[in-house]
Amino acid sequence: MWITIQKFAEREEHLQCDSAIVVVMSHGVFDHLLGIDEMPVNFHSFVSCLNSKNAPKLIGKPKIFIVQACRGENYDEGVEHISEECVDGPLFSPLFSIFSKYIKPNNNNNNSNPLNASSIFRNAPSPNSQNYFNESQEKRFQKRLKIEKVPTFADILIASATTSNNVSWRNSATGTW
């Protein structure tokens, strides 16, 4: 597991990607995960493999970790809860109705929305044209480039099946909790 995440951190494809999503389904204890070799991997070190220092091609891009593993030995006994079954559909109708004024049907292939991509970029120069950058624009652009510090642990989201110190429960009919 350790070697795999380190190799993943170095992948050239990250330059063309918008995010990285890592899903771990394993066994674990408080702050360690167990790989198929049963060697414990510190979870914090595992996540650090994709931080700004160790994976510079992912700077400014979301790094999402979804972890299905125990995080301790305590058992969550759960609580009883009576809920109504919800059918998909009407539940979201009020939410989407507030957007209806922005959604216009396109009945005759004429775009009634005056703000579209072709109107915005119609007069923009192509990157291949000679007028895209003239020399003075290029010099001003280069002067604006500067080295800046970015947080080492930024844009990282960790979703865990359970909280610290607890085992992760699985129910084959309803999922994990």
Which of 14, 17, 70, 81 is catalytic? The answer is: 70
Please name the amino acid found at residue 101: K
> Which segments of 37-116 does DSSP mark as H helices, in order?
43-48, 93-97
Q: Exposure string (b/e) for 79-91, b if CB count within 10 Å is 16 or more?
A: eeeeeeeeeeeee
DSSP string, 132-153: SS-HHHHHHHHHH-------TT
- HEC profile of 69-81: CCCEEECCCCCCC
Which of 14, 17, 27, 49 is catalytic? The answer is: 27
Report d(CA 142, CA 82) in Å as an integer.
63
Yes or no: say if 71 and 163 are a contact pair by the CB < 8 Å rule.
Answer: yes
70 counts as catalytic: yes
32 counts as catalytic: no
Catalytic residues: 27, 70
